[in-house]
Structure 1
Amino acid sequence: MNILGHLGTIYVVSEWIIRLVMLIVVPFRRSPEAAKGWLLFVFFLPWPALVLYHIIGRPNYPRWRRERFAKLPKAFEGVTERIKTLTAYQEPELPENLKQAATLIQNLGRFPNVDGNSVELLSSYDGSIARLVADIENATGHVHLLFYIFADDRTGWSVIDALARAVERGVACRVLIDALGSRTWAPRVLDALRQRGVAVHLVLPFGLLRWKTARADLRNHRKIAVIDGRIGYVGSQNIVDADFKPGIVNQEMVVRVTGPVVLELQAVFVADWFLETQEVLETPDLFPSPVRTGHVVAQVLPSGPDYPEAGIGQLIEALVHGARRRVVITTPYFIPNEGLLHALGTAVLRGVEVHLVLSKPADQILVSLAQRSYYAELLAAGIRIHLYRDKLLHAKHISVDRRVSLIGSSNVDMRSFVLNSEVSLILFDREANTELRAEQERYFAASEELSLDTWRARPLTRKIIENIARLVSPLL
């Protein structure tokens, strides 16, 4: 046998070794859906699958990052005690069917439910930025911003200029921006902020030649602003123009909150600041004695690879299982796991009205194709699907039975459930839920509702492409 023959034999044998080893390795600590997706990839393309698995196959941060996170409880012992001292746990008033979901939230998160908050839902894109800029202009102590995308466009410069003026007044301004989400603008934004005296850091920087690099697919997807420890912002909107992607205009949802729960948003920020800088921020002015500004009971839930027990996916399933009347899920990206699919279908059988509000315009083609592959079975189960026209509906929120609302940065897909660092604000309040429901009704009016017969009549080629995309959806 010539040398080429020997090499061919070695290559074939190596492929089978990879298949057999990965058959053992892949299912460990991985959902059945994700395991099937990886194993299918491994079966057809063993070597490319092995390389990709080494790069993004395990939802774990590098050791140095995990070691820093392990230091958090001790580093922030004073911060944790101060939050407990300054805030009082408040059991939300809920019917029996939702009490278990509230208990789950309490056990998943590291923060208590607290009363005395006031919330304002901001659905105007430019309006929410204007409100944030106004609050920065009135800041007296500090401004903390954590965003997945921070651009140096018109929107970004309005925030940069406000931060510069705040620094001139003696306000301490700190900014965290995700290295991948802001990669197009990061060098210019970092330079502009640093020249103006703002302390700014990239979150999870990555690169082949970096000593302490992060994985490219594990990102900090949070959007948080905290001003003077008394005003907080959380939601889906980044600091970038609404039309930053050609041909697409984003529609968002942001919550402006005041009251004790702002201290929980502050704690998420200072924890992320420590993870990037190893600097502990615990001065008293960062956690001032809260002032009751309303009657809303609320809780912050951080989630992501740093918080393996704080699963936003588990919470969404529990809320759906607990629903008795109505569930509305609004998200731009919907790639559910089997547990959520079962929960949604079971809810309809129990008589619950279930609505999905999704976006008709798409900015991620492969994800959109995979998402569409679920529509037929969802519609057949009695779930109503509304496709929002004209704009990319990037808002991410859920309402359950007029009693519980969840608004934040998390999509309903495996990336947000497992890979991304996310943050959600849970509101146990009828009035807030009613306000959110009014916004959802506006979505319905601006959407096309799918029918099962029409959807099934789409061309066969589309069905095939969508279902191929679905096969790799656990990897998305």
Structure 2
Amino acid sequence: MSWPSLFQIYFYSEWILRFIMLIEVPRYRKPAFATAWLMILMLFPWPGFILYLFIGIQRPPKHRLYQKEKLIQALADLKNNFAGSYMKLQASLDSGKQRSSELVAKSGGMFAMGSNHVEFINESENFILQLITDIDRALHHVHLQFYIFEYDDVGRRVCEAVIRAASRGVECRLLLDAMGSRKFINRKSPGLRKKGIKIVAAYPMISLRHYLGRLDWRTHRKIAVIDGKTAFTGSQNIVDPSYGHNESNLIWRDLVARISGPAVFSLQAVFLSDWYLGTDEALNGADFFPPPDTDGDSPIQVLPSGPVYSPSNYHMVVIDALYHAKKQIIITTPYFIPDDAMLQALESACRRGIDLNLVIPKKSDQFLPGNAARSYYEDIMKWGARIHLYNEGILHAKSISIDEEICFFGSSNFDIRSFTLNFEMDLVFYGQKEVDDIKKQQLAYIDQSEELDPEKWNSRGLLRKTVENLIRLLSPML
């Protein structure tokens, strides 16, 4: 009796694996996600299975479920401790905006807060200078949470400001994504810790046995809170706007909001709950929530999102707003990978006569997401949408304005990863001044773009179309 060869064993194991995954994969997924994974697994069974173990398992492992309960409890404790002052600062909105605000509150846990002052910063250097200035004025604490923190010229200057603050006795905490900021964490955190600065790596890449869940859960939030009185959030990381690229025109264009007022309470609560999630250190004293400045007139609602929120709350809120649009929608995003529900909402808007404008970089910094995005252009232009290709660098600002009445702004891209996998931070603006300011910036981006011609786009080569459409099949995984 002859034993099977290694090749035969591998061949038979592939078919066994295909059969097992054909049963497993569709059990907990939407059809689009299941189809994408089954395509990979049928073509490349063993490599696909290994990839599936790292980023395909939808059911959170036990320690992730425990973290979810910790996060929910931390937010609840913070709100309960300051319920009196928190409730008094809620914004008063008209009936239409109140409907949206109630949905945001139920899905994200934060109410719309009134009496805020907002300043938008559209230049990277101006943001860094203002952040350093505010850190230099800090008296009690500096809290920074970012996806990417690089020790280039920008990161070095911010670090020096944080070190100066720590030398004055200011409590300094850096909560950085373990993947996006891994170089900084590995090389610089030991020295900074010796200077009294607390640094935590969010969602570290720990052992497969302990994890056995998605390794691509990332904290994509960009938050800075100074003394509980001033906060920054938006799309910009702590990195040079070239992101290390040598091409002179490949500059990331970001937009950041500097906020003072009651909404800082909500941003602080999100940071502190994330800090508790990673450290078990509960920080809920009155020094972290001082009486806010109330001389502004902007109502703002903070909308944290991520895989611990069920259902995908930012996704749900945006879809609801799109269906209620009456005149115009403008979307700026570096990555455009909508799921079926988003596509249906966009198509519905176009067929209702809504003026839909999508502003996206002409040149993408990522091959797969860029080509996946281009595969959608033909469909949405056919519905009547206008696509503007930004050609002054990489447009990294993420915003959605609807009818000059409401705006979404923050760290979320218009893609499946931001909708379902990343921990994101977005703001909902209801005030006319802030909505007008964001729309003014969106129109400036459109002026710096070239509108895509449908006929010219549809005449592109067959090879390009084929590559784009094949990559589109992977959209649920991107």
TM-score under structure 2 length normalisation: 0.94
Q: What letter corresponds to residue 91 of structure 2 in structure 1?
A: Q
Secondary structure of residue in 1 paired with 2:151: coil
CA shift, 1:447, in A, is 0.3
Cα distance in 2 for residues equivalent to 1:457 and 1:44: 31
1:413 equivalent to 2:415? Answer: yes
CA shift, 1:59, in A, is 3.9
The match for 2:328 is 326
CA shift, 1:154, in A, is 0.7
| Larger deviation, residues 252-261 vs 53-62 | 53-62
Cα distance in 2 for residues equivalent to 1:134 and 1:214: 41
Q: For 1:387-402, what aligned pairs fall within 5 Å after superposition?
A: 387-402=389-404
- The partner residue of 2:273 within 263, 271, 274 is 271
The match for 1:44 is 43
The match for 2:237 is 238
Closer, same or farther: CA 368–264 of 1 in aligned 2, 3 Å: same
The match for 1:224 is 223
The match for 2:122 is 123
Do the aligned residues in 1 keep the contact of 2:74 with 2:273 (CA within 8 Å)?
Answer: no
1:199 equivalent to 2:207? Answer: no
CA shift, 1:418, in A, is 1.2
The match for 2:183 is 184
Secondary structure of residue in 2 paired with 1:4: coil
The match for 1:24 is 23
Do the aligned residues in 2 keep the contact of 1:205 with 1:214 (CA within 8 Å)?
Answer: no
1:439 equivalent to 2:438? Answer: no
Cα distance in 2 for residues equivalent to 1:77 and 1:329: 33
Do the aligned residues in 2 keep the contact of 1:220 with 1:422 (CA within 8 Å)?
Answer: yes
Cα distance in 1 for residues equivalent to 2:174 and 2:402: 34
Deviations 1:228-254 (A, max 9, x none): 111111111000111123122110011
Do the aligned residues in 2 keep the contact of 1:304 with 1:419 (CA within 8 Å)?
Answer: yes
Cα distance in 2 for residues equivalent to 1:349 and 1:68: 43
Do the aligned residues in 1 keep the contact of 2:28 with 2:58 (CA within 8 Å)?
Answer: no
Secondary structure of residue in 2 paired with 1:144: strand
Q: What letter corresponds to residue 204 of structure 2 in structure 1?
A: P
Deviations 1:115-144 (A, max 9, x none): 111111111110011111111111111110
Cα distance in 2 for residues equivalent to 1:312 and 1:358: 20
The match for 1:106 is 105
| Identical columns (%) | 40
Do the aligned residues in 2 keep the contact of 1:139 with 1:228 (CA within 8 Å)?
Answer: yes
Cα distance in 1 for residues equivalent to 2:75 and 2:381: 47
Do the aligned residues in 2 keep the contact of 1:300 with 1:423 (CA within 8 Å)?
Answer: yes
Q: What letter corresponds to residue 330 of structure 1 in structure 2?
A: T
Q: For 1:274-313, what aligned pairs fall within 5 Å after superposition?
A: 274-313=276-315
Q: What letter corresponds to residue 184 of structure 2 in structure 1?
A: W
Do the aligned residues in 2 keep the contact of 1:302 with 1:310 (CA within 8 Å)?
Answer: no
Q: Paired residues, what number?
A: 473
Do the aligned residues in 1 keep the contact of 2:347 with 2:383 (CA within 8 Å)?
Answer: yes
Structure 2: tracts of 5 or more residues without a match: none
CA shift, 1:73, in A, is 4.3
Cα distance in 1 for residues equivalent to 2:300 and 2:365: 32
The match for 2:174 is 175
TM-score under structure 1 length normalisation: 0.94
Cα distance in 1 for residues equivalent to 2:194 and 2:209: 25
Secondary structure of residue in 1 paired with 2:239: coil
1:451 equivalent to 2:453? Answer: yes
The match for 1:92 is 93
Do the aligned residues in 2 keep the contact of 1:59 with 1:419 (CA within 8 Å)?
Answer: no
Alignment RMSD = 2.0
Cα distance in 1 for residues equivalent to 2:389 and 2:471: 20
Do the aligned residues in 1 keep the contact of 2:54 with 2:212 (CA within 8 Å)?
Answer: no
CA shift, 1:408, in A, is 0.8
Cα distance in 2 for residues equivalent to 1:235 and 1:222: 8
The match for 2:425 is 423
The match for 1:149 is 148
Closer, same or farther: CA 144–411 of 1 in aligned 2, 3 Å: same
Secondary structure of residue in 2 paired with 1:26: helix
- The partner residue of 1:339 within 341, 353, 357 is 341
Secondary structure of residue in 2 paired with 1:398: strand
Cα distance in 1 for residues equivalent to 2:296 and 2:314: 26
Do the aligned residues in 2 keep the contact of 1:61 with 1:305 (CA within 8 Å)?
Answer: no
Do the aligned residues in 1 keep the contact of 2:149 with 2:181 (CA within 8 Å)?
Answer: yes
CA shift, 1:433, in A, is 0.7
Do the aligned residues in 2 keep the contact of 1:152 with 1:188 (CA within 8 Å)?
Answer: no
The match for 2:353 is 351
Q: What letter corresponds to residue 286 of structure 1 in structure 2?
A: F
CA shift, 1:45, in A, is 1.9
The match for 1:383 is 385
Q: What letter corresponds to residue 230 of structure 1 in structure 2?
A: K
Secondary structure of residue in 2 paired with 1:51: helix
CA shift, 1:93, in A, is 2.0
Do the aligned residues in 2 keep the contact of 1:333 with 1:411 (CA within 8 Å)?
Answer: yes
Do the aligned residues in 1 keep the contact of 2:236 with 2:256 (CA within 8 Å)?
Answer: yes
Do the aligned residues in 2 keep the contact of 1:101 with 1:322 (CA within 8 Å)?
Answer: no
Do the aligned residues in 1 keep the contact of 2:322 with 2:346 (CA within 8 Å)?
Answer: yes
Cα distance in 2 for residues equivalent to 1:446 and 1:388: 6
Do the aligned residues in 2 keep the contact of 1:109 with 1:310 (CA within 8 Å)?
Answer: no
Do the aligned residues in 2 keep the contact of 1:121 with 1:254 (CA within 8 Å)?
Answer: yes
Deviations 1:324-351 (A, max 9, x none): 0111111101100011111111111111
Do the aligned residues in 1 keep the contact of 2:58 with 2:213 (CA within 8 Å)?
Answer: no
1:68 equivalent to 2:67? Answer: yes
| Larger deviation, residues 233-242 vs 198-207 | 198-207
Closer, same or farther: CA 29–314 of 1 in aligned 2, 3 Å: farther
Deviations 1:368-425 (A, max 9, x none): 0111111110111111111110310111111111111111111111111111111111
CA shift, 1:449, in A, is 0.6
The match for 1:159 is 158
Deviations 1:2-41 (A, max 9, x none): 4236x65554443333333323322233222111111111
Cα distance in 1 for residues equivalent to 2:307 and 2:10: 36
Cα distance in 2 for residues equivalent to 1:289 and 1:132: 21
Cα distance in 1 for residues equivalent to 2:110 and 2:234: 18
Q: What letter corresponds to residue 199 of structure 1 in structure 2?
A: K
Do the aligned residues in 2 keep the contact of 1:253 with 1:395 (CA within 8 Å)?
Answer: yes
